Amino acid sequence: MREFAGNSGFGCGGPPCAAFGKGQFESGVAAKVLREFAQDPFPYLDEAGKKNMIAAHSALLGKFTELAFDEPAEMRWEESRPMEADNIDVGPATETDLQGDLMEASGNPF
């Protein structure tokens, strides 16, 4: 399934430019090939395409690392950490904590 009938002449090394034969869309062959390409395009690429993909991957990883670990990101991370609750280790709830006087005796708050 790694071989293609041809391409559109634009120098593309993979299925997006492949010219599928008559009936290949209807039979599901084209969908299967395109699905495989979407999951792992690397085997379908020529050497130049592989070099481009490796360069793009490296650039994206570098940019992610730069943005993920810069000073504003550290500040956002610190701000997003859950704050320690102010009611830790204060003991069990009491009648005053439950605020029973706010509700009618019937239990209907309305």
Question: At residue 73, what is the residue type?
Answer: A
What is the tens place of the pLDDT at every residue in 44-94? Answer: 888 998 999 999 999 999 998 888 888 887 888 788 877 766 666 667 777
User: Tens of pLDDT along 9-53?
Assistant: 334 555 556 778 888 889 988 888 889 888 988 888 889 989 999
- The 3-state DSSP composition of the chain as helix, strand, coil percent (nearest 5) reads 55, 0, 45
How many Cα atoms occupy the beta-carbon half-sphere of 73 within 13 Å? 8
CA distance 12 to 3: 13
